[in-house]
Amino acid sequence: MAVYRYGDRIPKIGKNTYISDSARVIGDVTIGDNCYIGHGAIVRGDYGKIVIGSGTAIEENAILHIRPNGILELEEKVTVGHGAIIHGQKIKSHAVIGIASVIGFDVVIGIWAIVAEGCVVPQNSIIPDFKIAGGVPFKIIGDVKQKHRDFWTYGKQLYIDLAEDYPDKFEKI
């Protein structure tokens, strides 16, 4: 695991959480149980605090950071897509942040909200619960339906299973 202290700020990692050796988890970061922190991901709590809820996936090359003395909270079973950049305030449970999205400071993403790939959500914005946002800058483009929830429930479980399997199956050759 690539977990680093920053001064007196020390990460806390939950049970059955996988952190890639090429990821960086730095400082005041709390990660719940059954999380997946992918290859190349950076979770920087060097001068702010980051809390990641259980069952959350931070996919490859995503970056999470927060301003000095700020708090970024991801509730349980959040999916952060590959290459996303997150500076938000709160991402509520089951939300999906699409590949290469950018989430500005003090943004709140609602329960089961979906942020489309490449979307930009500027500072101080709010995406309501069960809404789909897309575009640059974002617009609300739809409602989350049961088919979306079914698909993403499946996808979230894939990463929970990966977090469990990686310690036994991932081997440098």
Q: What are the tens digits of pLDDT across the range 114-133?
A: 999 999 999 999 999 999 99
CATH number at residue 111: 2.160.10.10
pLDDT the model gives residue 84: 98
Cβ atoms 48, 29 nearer than 8 A: no
For the chain, how many structural domains are there in total?
1
Residue ranges making up the domain that contains 25? 3-169
The model's pLDDT over 2-37, given as tens digits with 9 standing for 90+, comes to 999 999 999 999 999 999 999 999 999 999 999 999
Sorting pLDDT into bands at 50, 70 and 90, what band is 172?
Answer: confident
- Over range 164-172, report the average pLDDT: 90
Decide: pTM greater than 0.85.
yes
Q: How far apart are CA 46 and CA 43, in angstroms?
A: 9
CA angle 169, 171, 173 (to 5 degrees): 140
Q: Are strands 102-103 and 120-121 parallel, antiparallel or unpaired?
A: parallel
